[in-house]
Amino acid sequence: MSAHLAQYAGEPAPLEPGTAPVPRYGQGSLADLLPAITAGQGVPGMDTGFALEPADRACVFLVDGMGWEALRAHPQEAPFLNSLLATSSNGTGLPITSGFPSTTATSLASVGTGLTPGVHGLPGYTALDPHTGQLMNQLRWRPWTDPHAWQPYPTVFQRADAAGIATCQVSAPHFEQTPLTKIALSGGTFHGRLSAEERMDLAAERLSAGDRSLVYTYYAELDGNGHRYGMDSDAWRGQLMYVDRLAQRLAEQLPPRSALYITADHGMVDVPDTPEARFDVDEDWELSAGLAQLGGEGRMRHVYAVPGAASDLYTVWREVLADQAWVATREEALALGWFGPTVDDRVRARLGDVVAAMTGNSAVIATEREPNESALIGMHGSATSAEQLVPLLEVRT
């Protein structure tokens, strides 16, 4: 086999999947954030090992793609946010983990449901629908799939609303009717505003809607610019400066008895445009042998095998990617807790026969299957600290 030849040539040995960092499920991951907040507001049944100081009024501002490491590396672009780092002794100002994989659909579902990926069942950017045998895009919800069959649990927002907390989301108008919003972020009222400044102003206003309130607001474009131009770009740095001003604008308008939490869904890495950093499945006969479907995204792949090929596929992916990825069988990934301590039966079959989480700054792209995604510079999805660690910053009044 070629892999043996590669090792004769002095190539590095495959990484053991057990050496991959596992998200801090139950102790400081995105799935713990809303349960911790709403437990402090008296919403019943919110059990988590992660505690936050109670606040009657709580606002979560989620910045798409703002990793902890990148934020810390840019104090000049983000002076306000950096001033909130590690200023508090109760677990804020420090990083939490996003969950696995570190991607928007998975993370927003973890935030909104308070459940781990293995339970809410959005296991990546794309994942296999076992009932159709097709890949489903979890962010764009294509092809359309019954949302409540896919994610049957109530959101924390719905539970907070039922408990009498004045609950709302303030986001861009087009998110109101998306399936992802319905199954992850709905509950209470939705307020669509086109401009991010208006969203900040309205989020602060809505905090006063009740004695106890829960407000969620979101900003997308730091991630979008990171994907298109890379984090080492003026466009990305300009976006970070803008996010810093937005956060300060919101913080300065908080009503009394409020806590503002600023966090993110994942970080990002820039993937060099070199053949060494970009493994192209559509050009590599070894990686594509026995491959039925390629899920996930460049930094984290669900690899679905044709019947009978899973074992060979695992061996080849491990040896081809070598020290560029943690490659696990589905059973190994489950046993290691990558998707959380428990995984629902309905979710298991959505996971790859092989799961490949990239290290360093390389990616498994697919220039024919995914021409647009394969051209991106910034990518995310894996278990590295650059992708997994997200800030949990706090402002209290």
Task: Give the footprint of Zn ion on this chain (CB under 5 A).
Answer: 223
CA separation for the pair 76, 141 (Å, rounded)? 38
In angstroms, what is the minimal distance from the CB of 295 to Zn ion?
A: 16
Nearest CA among 46, 63, 62, 97 for reference residue 339: 97
Closest to Zn ion by CB, 223 or 319: 223
Residue in this structure with the two tokens 């939705």, named with its chain if needed = 190
Phi then psi for residue 8, to 5 deg, are: -60, -35
Q: Are 160 and 214 within 8 A, CB to CB?
A: yes
In angstroms, what is the minimal distance from the CB of 218 to Zn ion?
A: 13
Local structure of 392: helix, strand or coil: strand
Closest to Zn ion by CB, 260 or 389: 389
CA separation for the pair 300, 291 (Å, rounded)? 16
Nearby residues of 230 by Cβ (< 8 Å), 6 or more positions away: 236, 270, 377, 378
CA dihedral for 298, 382, 326, 100, sign (positive or negative): negative
In angstroms, what is the minimal distance from the CB of 69 to Zn ion?
A: 16
Closest to Zn ion by CB, 101 or 179: 101
Residue in this structure with the two tokens 């799939």, named with its chain if needed = 145
Closest residue to Zn ion, judged by C-beta, is 223
In angstroms, what is the minimal distance from the CB of 188 to Zn ion?
A: 26
Closest to Zn ion by CB, 370 or 394: 370
In angstroms, what is the minimal distance from the CB of 380 to Zn ion?
A: 6
Closest to Zn ion by CB, 223 or 353: 223
Residue in this structure with the two tokens 């070199």, named with its chain if needed = 274
Closest to Zn ion by CB, 23 or 226: 226
In angstroms, what is the minimal distance from the CB of 259 to Zn ion?
A: 27
CA separation for the pair 160, 316 (Å, rounded)? 48
